[in-house]
Amino acid sequence: MDTSRWTAEPARTASPRRRGAVLERAILDAALEQLSTVGWKGLTMEGVATGAQTGKAAVYRRWPSKEDLVADALEAALPPVGGVPDLGSVREDLLALCRRARDAMYSRPGFALRAVIHECDPVQAERFHGVIFDGVVEPTIQQLREVVTRGIERGEVRPDAANGYVFDAIPAMMMYRSKMCSSEWSDQDLEGMIDHLMIPLLRPHGV
């Protein structure tokens, strides 16, 4: 006699219901994952809910719009700003900053941030201005300013090089070549940018 149909199935363990900060963290992580894989245009509130293993209503209850959710996800994911390197020369200090920026660009938060920057229209991008400027742009410029100022004090850098155009050069170049040339910024590429662009730009006149 076949008794298999009478055999009790193993009890299924129900997933614990997450609430509060635990659920919010799961939703933010799911939003970041979607941004870094399918980009801004591919991200949906339904997809985030699925990734977080929760209902769509739980997402909308906390974030009424996609823009609000992504802004909070980016802000929560941005890494803390490290200290400014002091390796004895402006070249080595700039290389250390560039390697750190390269690693951040190709991290999950970095892919997510670039998806927003490259894919949002101007109206949508306005929602993220504070997150991007306060969390990325201003700290980067401040660190470059400190490295250049230290170089001026050591006599390696011309005094008038501490200006916004110079500080913009590295971030602009890294973003441009990453997007338009698909550069992944190897150490050799970073050294080339510093040696052929930044050092001639910073060198004191007549040197």
Residue 127: domain span: 90-202
Q: Measure the CA–CA gap between 108 and 36, rounded to whole angstroms.
A: 6
pLDDT at 5: 43
Give CA–CA dist 192/194, Å, rounded. 5
Instruction: Find the CATH number of the domain harbouring 28.
Output: 1.10.10.60
Per-block mean pLDDT, blocks of 10 residues, the chain (207 long): 45 54 95 93 96 96 95 90 92 96 90 90 86 89 96 96 95 91 94 97 86
Residue-level pLDDT at 9: 45
Spatial separation of the C-alpha atoms in residues 108 and 114, rounded to whole Å? 10
Q: What is the pLDDT of residue 44?
A: 96
Same domain, 104 and 158: yes
Identify whether 85 is part of a domain.
no
Residue pair 197/173 in contact by the 8 Å Cβ criterion: yes
Note the pLDDT of residue 20. Answer: 83
pLDDT of residue 14: 38
In a domain, 2, yes or no: no
The predicted pLDDT at position 18 comes to: 63
Same structural domain for residues 56 and 103?
A: no
Q: How far apart are CA 194 and CA 201, in angstroms?
A: 9
In terms of domains, do 105 and 191 share one? yes
Nearest Cα to Cα of residue 43 among 55, 20, 58, 27 = 27
